[in-house]
Structure 1
Amino acid sequence: MTGETRIWTPIDYEAEGKQSDCLRLPHSSDLSAYGWIPIPLVCIKNGSGPTALLVAGNHGDEYEGQIALSNLAREIDVDQVSGRLLILPALNFPAVTAGRRVSPLDQGNLNRLFPGDANGTPTEMIAHYVCKVLIPMADVVVDLHSGGRSLNYVASSLVRPGRASDEHTSLLRLLRLFGAPISFVSDGTGGGGLTTLAAAAQERGALALTTELGGGATLSRWGLSLAEAGLRRVLKDQGILRDVAVEPASPTRLMTVSGHSAFVYARDRGVFEPAANIGDEVVTGQIAGRIHFPDLPTREPETLFFESSGLVACRRVPSLTNRGDCLFKVMADMDGGSLHA
């Protein structure tokens, strides 16, 4: 992470009250030499207290979080807040407006570019601003995700492993409070590793929770309800929304992702025929699916197998696959089994 941020906003983070405007991401194009791109931002501050940074639209084709945070921004009044809420429902705004995982401006995958670069591409500049300005204000960070175009996910929440026992305990408590049916601990193997918003938040001392609320580039009503209820439970526990009514959290099954063997990948281009669905329990050696080759009709399909046992957490949505595409991810139970509210 280098340099001072070039993004600016008229919002005063220290001012009392409810402010709604945007970040200005400078972007020079053929038709707008001195232009900027808006990134919607709502800041609600009332006295002293903790700060929560709430993000959706990190990937533009994931919708439950975008709606949940937009609803929250409209519904929460200043007098309900003790501390500060920073709400960004469309963080990678170019990707959100395009309905894509990555930005159409630079093909940047925001959740693979932290901690960013002040003088980099537009997506790197967004990541840098989040790390340089927003995360240092935050005590807790919630980054709402779904599977996007390529994956369907079981409704779940996740954290990175705590770096010390007290941090790990606090993170598991966040999972319990959010109350997804499945909660898992992952260091990002097979995904973003240390380049995600959650990793950047943890590096800077904030507690970070991520979700997977559905997928297929469509809206899960159940995932939206979970996001809204889980957010309120977390914010009430943090003392930011003291008087808001919340539903009790349901028990959550505590799981983990165990390295690269938890994933099934396509080894050739073809048409994917799955042999399992999300939520299925599978065992090592079980058939995961087949890749068919319509362009070579006499070629036998390639059979793929699960390399680990556990619960199918996500499955590829598009049938057409290329070599290296993720087809499944499997999670295994952690010791302790479940967390109860």
Structure 2
Amino acid sequence: MSTPTRIWSPISFEKEGKQTGSLRLPISSDLSAYGWIPIPVVCLKNGKGPTAVLFAGTHGDEYEGQIALFELAREISPDDVNGRIIILPSLNFPAVEAGRRVSPMDDGNLNRVYPGKAHGTPTEMIAHYVTSVLLPMADLVVDLHSGGRSLEYVPCALIRPSADAERHARLMQLVSVFGAPVSYLTDGKGGGGNTTLPASAEAQGVPVITAELGGGATLQHIGKQIASNGVRRLLHHMGIYRDDSLDVPAPTRFTEVPTRDYFVYADDDGLFEPAVAVGADVVAGQLAGYLHSIHRPTSAPVELCFPVEGMVACRRFPTLTRRGDCLFGLMRDLH
């Protein structure tokens, strides 16, 4: 038997109607021996239809998804729902409150600690609650991201390929319904691998649509609109929420990131000067940018080149760069 979660809430996910409140993440600190930190949650339930769980704020400096879910939570009525919608727009609330990718409580990256621990760090407790309480209820999960402080992303949706052919076909259908201009398949090897939400959801057979919607720790309105429209299309497609006002999206461009060759890294400290924008198609050997030494002002900058052909999925946003930082990520078309 799995260890019960330590997070609790006055909200009942089985209650009909609209409830607004919080999950309660227990803390024990110098000034709050038996305290808790609120994680905002909205639950809308009407009848026995499917359940959609909607997340943003997994990383606190990613804003398009947070605002899109705030708006949805305000606008939607339980009378419009057939089933259940659970909205957590600030899932890692300590990170959201601090405007950071990771939690100030434990430096935890929520999308790197799944399936989490009931008696772990605060971030591990959140991951455990998602894995043990929310995923078993879900027929669909949407997790909205962007590049945060360090990256700018082309607006896109992501799915983790499934070994189950029927489930994989379902994921391909759902990501097409979401309708981002670009969709890519990734098993997370370039990032969190099996420590991510999609990996935990795959183990339970729950489909997850992830999105990257901008970056730079600021709001990009096109990303917010893609998130808003995509979530509504998925809810409509699942029969949970009817919305006939949305246009049919243009076909998405399916891509993949097959190896680490599709990333460009800094091999020294310096000031990064990109030569290519996100969304551009590039060829192997093409100039990607320059790295200017802050220690040797008369030295010529290091020329950076793309190792393979592909489309620029993301680029580093801050100019000041350290050795080992990711400067570019590429995708290639899925054949």
Tell me the equivalent position of 1:254. 254
The question of whether the paired residues in 2 share the 8 Å contact of 1:11 and 1:19 is answered with yes
Whichever residue aligns with residue 114 of structure 2, its letter is: F
Q: Distance in 1 between matches of 2:232 and 2:247?
A: 9
The question of whether the paired residues in 2 share the 8 Å contact of 1:290 and 1:302 is answered with yes
Give matches, 1:79-228, under 5 Å: 79-228=79-228
RMSD between superposed Cα atoms in Å: 1.2
Q: Distance in 1 between matches of 2:86 and 2:23?
A: 12
Give matches, 1:54-69, under 5 Å: 54-69=54-69
Identify the range of structure 1 (40-49 vs 238-247) with the bigger mean alpha-carbon deviation. 238-247
1:244 offset after TM fit, Å?
5.2
Tell me the equivalent position of 2:271. 271
Tell me the equivalent position of 1:245. 245
1:47 offset after TM fit, Å?
0.6
1:329 offset after TM fit, Å?
0.5
1:2 offset after TM fit, Å?
6.1
The question of whether the paired residues in 2 share the 8 Å contact of 1:62 and 1:218 is answered with yes
Whichever residue aligns with residue 168 of structure 2, its letter is: H
Normalising by structure 2, we get a TM-score of 0.97
The question of whether the paired residues in 2 share the 8 Å contact of 1:288 and 1:304 is answered with yes
1:298 offset after TM fit, Å?
3.5
Q: Distance in 2 between matches of 1:281 and 1:246?
A: 30
Whichever residue aligns with residue 9 of structure 1, its letter is: S
Q: Distance in 1 between matches of 2:168 and 2:26?
A: 38
For structure 1, list consecutive stretches of 5 or more residues without a partner in the other structure. Answer: 336-341
TM-superposition CA deviations, 1:269-296 (whole Å, max 9, x none) = 1111112111111111222222111212
Q: Distance in 2 between matches of 1:122 and 1:61?
A: 18
Tell me the equivalent position of 2:10. 10
Q: Distance in 2 between matches of 1:2 and 1:33?
A: 27
1:302 offset after TM fit, Å?
2.1
The question of whether the paired residues in 2 share the 8 Å contact of 1:2 and 1:118 is answered with no
Tell me the equivalent position of 1:236. 236
The question of whether the paired residues in 2 share the 8 Å contact of 1:38 and 1:93 is answered with yes
1:247 offset after TM fit, Å?
2.1
Q: Distance in 2 between matches of 1:112 and 1:175?
A: 23
Normalising by structure 1, we get a TM-score of 0.96
Q: Distance in 2 between matches of 1:119 and 1:70?
A: 30
Q: Distance in 1 between matches of 2:48 and 2:247?
A: 26
Tell me the equivalent position of 1:293. 293
Whichever residue aligns with residue 21 of structure 1, its letter is: G
Whichever residue aligns with residue 116 of structure 1, its letter is: G
The question of whether the paired residues in 2 share the 8 Å contact of 1:292 and 1:302 is answered with yes
SS of equivalent to 2:7? coil
Q: Distance in 1 between matches of 2:220 and 2:297?
A: 37
Q: Distance in 2 between matches of 1:219 and 1:330?
A: 23
Q: Distance in 1 between matches of 2:283 and 2:293?
A: 27
1:243 offset after TM fit, Å?
5.0
- How many matched pairs? 335
Identify the range of structure 1 (163-172 vs 149-158) with the bigger mean alpha-carbon deviation. 163-172
The question of whether the paired residues in 2 share the 8 Å contact of 1:80 and 1:244 is answered with no
The question of whether the paired residues in 2 share the 8 Å contact of 1:106 and 1:122 is answered with yes
**Percent identity among equivalent residues?**
60
The question of whether the paired residues in 2 share the 8 Å contact of 1:254 and 1:334 is answered with yes
The question of whether the paired residues in 1 share the 8 Å contact of 2:232 and 2:243 is answered with no
Q: Distance in 1 between matches of 2:90 and 2:280?
A: 32
